[in-house]
């Protein structure tokens, strides 16, 4: 009798334990999947993120940086691990050299078919076999200037940034490579020079320029300063220039018709920002699912209309109004693309040399 009662009690306890375990397992199955993403500021429309979660059940946690160098340090030396990173061409080249990236499984990214061949071809300058990266945006670095303050003749050359008559009205980029671009182009040197004498010459030019500056600013800050008429010229990416000139009601950006964007005759940087998956990602398949979603026409359109940077999505481009397609502030000509120089990773020694030079300039 006692044994029978004991057996029944033991069976009941076991049933409760199994029930609790089953409930725990069920809860584990329904736990929201998520990926951690590192990207430049204001680079993804928030609707794209929320729509992706609705359609795929994957939450996207976004962490932002202002510059390529800041992003690299955060990805490599920060406390947070990331499943997906969007960064610049030369940073991706550095990641590849350091074996920090996983090869992408393009079976999970069928929408890669929407990316134009020219952008995959250009990407081979830093990702030779297109194994690690998928383009997100592309563009150029140029000058936005106020036509009431700067002559069209002056705007033809990067030397305008060193003209004392514009003292106090010049905005430079708070970015090492982009600021050195201005000096190197003005001096007739390559953006990827490895000659320390040329780097030193550019450094001295930037030191001499510093008292003439209004400020070193990141892209959105430079755009807003130009809209308000605070400066005569600013170093910006073409997408920010378009917004500064045309404005955008949804983002409450007024625009300024007195502004004009130009690429000086000496040449400029052609850049591609792309998605990559770091080797330490614990959610590679979900990261690839997000890349695939971003390459879809609907998501690409939302992102394009959010910041008006040049889209590499040829399928989307084919659907745009001809007026937009032909706007060279948004889509620079093939001549500009071919003439533009892609930044390359210059190696640890030169990277440190540039960083030390930048600190000297800013001090």
Is residue 24 domain-resident? no
C-alpha–C-alpha distance, residues 357 and 363, integer Å: 10
| Model pLDDT, residue 359 | 97
| Model pLDDT, residue 250 | 80
Same-domain check for residues 185 and 306: no
CA 18 → CA 15, 29, 326, distances in Å? 5, 16, 66
Q: Element (H or E) spanning 171, and its range? A: strand 170-173
Task: Report which of 120, 94, 98 is spatially closest to residue 109, judged by C-alpha positions.
Answer: 120
Is residue 10 domain-resident? no
**CA angle 196–269–261, rounded 5-degree value:** 130
Beta-carbon count within 10 A of 308 CB: 23
Q: Are 161 and 187 in contact (CB under 8 A)?
A: no
| Model pLDDT, residue 249 | 82
Assign residue 316 the CATH number of its domain: 3.40.190.10
- 163 alpha-carbon distance from chain centroid: 30
**What end-to-end distance do the CA atoms of the chain give, in Å?**
89
Q: Is 248 exposed, middle or buried (0-12, 13-18, 19+ CB in 10 A)?
A: middle
Q: Are 317 and 325 in contact (CB under 8 A)?
A: yes
Mean pLDDT value across residues 174-186: 96
Q: Element (H or E) spanning 49, and its range? A: helix 46-56
Buried b / exposed e over 253-267, threshold 16 CB at 10 Å, is: beebeebbbbbbebb
| Model pLDDT, residue 30 | 54
pLDDT above 70 (res 16) = no
Is residue 157 domain-resident? yes
Q: In this predicted structure, which of 9-13, 63-67, 265-269, 295-299 has the lowest mean pLDDT?
A: 9-13
Is residue 156 domain-resident? yes
Same-domain check for residues 148 and 263: yes
Same-domain check for residues 174 and 88: no
pLDDT above 90 (res 27) = no
- DSSP 8-class letter at 330: T
Same-domain check for residues 188 and 234: yes
Same-domain check for residues 172 and 197: yes
Is residue 127 domain-resident? yes
For the chain, give the mean pLDDT: 91
Going by pLDDT thresholds of 50, 70 and 90, the confidence category of residue 7 is very low
What percentage of the chain reaches a pLDDT higher than 70? 91
Same-domain check for residues 160 and 261: yes
Same-domain check for residues 159 and 303: no
Q: In this predicted structure, which of 20-24, 98-102, 183-187 has the lowest mean pLDDT?
A: 20-24
Q: Are 140 and 237 in contact (CB under 8 A)?
A: yes
Q: How many domains does the chain have?
A: 2
Same-domain check for residues 92 and 180: no
Q: Element (H or E) spanning 88, and its range? A: strand 84-88
Task: Report which of 289, 293, 340, 291 is spatially closest to residue 138, judged by C-alpha positions.
Answer: 340
Is residue 238 domain-resident? yes
Q: Is 110 exposed, middle or buried (0-12, 13-18, 19+ CB in 10 A)?
A: exposed
Same-domain check for residues 295 and 253: no
In this structure, what token pair is assigned to residue 134?
Answer: 């998928």
In this structure, what token pair is assigned to residue 7?
Answer: 């057996």
Task: Report which of 36, 47, 41 is spatially closest to residue 298, judged by C-alpha positions.
Answer: 47
Same-domain check for residues 281 and 259: no
Cβ-based neighbours of 8, under 8 Å, separated by 6 or more: none
Q: What is the DSSP string of 233-294?
A: EEEEEHHHHHHHHH-BTTTTB---TTEEEE--TT--BEEEEEEE-BTT-S-HHHHHHHHHHH
C-alpha–C-alpha distance, residues 210 and 199, integer Å: 16
- Which structural domain range is residue 335 located in? 33-138+271-339
More reliable by pLDDT, 165 or 24: 165
Is residue 21 domain-resident? no
Mean pLDDT value across residues 331-357: 93
**CA angle 292–296–302, rounded 5-degree value:** 120
Mean pLDDT value across residues 251-269: 93
Helix, strand, coil percentages for the chain (3-state, nearest 5): 50, 20, 30
| Model pLDDT, residue 32 | 82
Going by pLDDT thresholds of 50, 70 and 90, the confidence category of residue 339 is confident
Same-domain check for residues 252 and 352: yes
Is residue 13 domain-resident? no
Q: Are 177 and 90 in contact (CB under 8 A)?
A: yes
Q: Are 256 and 226 in contact (CB under 8 A)?
A: yes
Same-domain check for residues 64 and 207: no
């Amino acid at each position: 009798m006692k044994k029978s009662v004991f057996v029944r009690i033991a069976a009941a306890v076991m049933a409760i334990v199994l029930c609790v375990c089953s409930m725990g397992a069920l809860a584990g199955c329904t736990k929201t999947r998520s990926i951690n993403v590192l990207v430049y500021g204001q680079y993804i429309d928030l609707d794209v993120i929320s729509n992706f979660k609705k359609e795929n059940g994957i939450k996207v946690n976004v962490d932002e940086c202002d510059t390529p160098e800041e992003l690299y340090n955060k990805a490599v030396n920060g406390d947070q691990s990331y499943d997906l990173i969007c960064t610049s061409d030369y940073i991706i080249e550095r990641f590849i050299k350091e074996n920090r990236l996983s090869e992408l499984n393009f079976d999970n990214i069928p929408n890669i078919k929407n990316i134009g061949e020219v952008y995959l071809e250009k990407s081979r300058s830093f990702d030779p076999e297109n194994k690690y990266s998928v383009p997100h945006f592309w563009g150029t670095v140029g000058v936005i200037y106020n036509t009431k303050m700067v002559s069209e003749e002056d705007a033809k050359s990067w030397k305008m940034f060193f003209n004392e008559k514009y003292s106090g009205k010049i905005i430079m980029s708070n970015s090492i490579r982009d600021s050195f671009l201005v000096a190197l182009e003005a001096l007739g040197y390559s953006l990827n020079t490895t000659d320390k004498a040329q780097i030193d010459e550019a450094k001295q030019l930037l030191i001499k320029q510093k008292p003439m500056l209004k400020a070193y600013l990141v892209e959105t800050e430079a755009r807003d300063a130009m809209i308000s008429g605070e400066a005569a010229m600013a170093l910006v990416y073409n997408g920010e220039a378009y917004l500064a000139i045309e404005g955008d009601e949804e983002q409450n950006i007024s625009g300024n018709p007195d502004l004009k964007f130009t690429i000086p005759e000496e040449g400029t940087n052609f850049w591609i920002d792309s998605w990559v998956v770091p080797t330490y990602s614990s959610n590679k398949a979900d990261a690839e699912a997000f890349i695939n979603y971003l390459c879809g026409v609907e998501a690409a359109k939302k992102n394009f209309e959010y910041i008006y940077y040049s889209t590499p999505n040829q399928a989307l481009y084919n659907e745009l109004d001809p007026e937009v397609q032909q706007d060279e502030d948004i889509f620079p000509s093939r001549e500009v693309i071919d003439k533009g120089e892609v930044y390359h990773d210059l190696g640890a020694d030169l990277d440190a040399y540039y960083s030390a030079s930048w600190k000297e300039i800013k001090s």
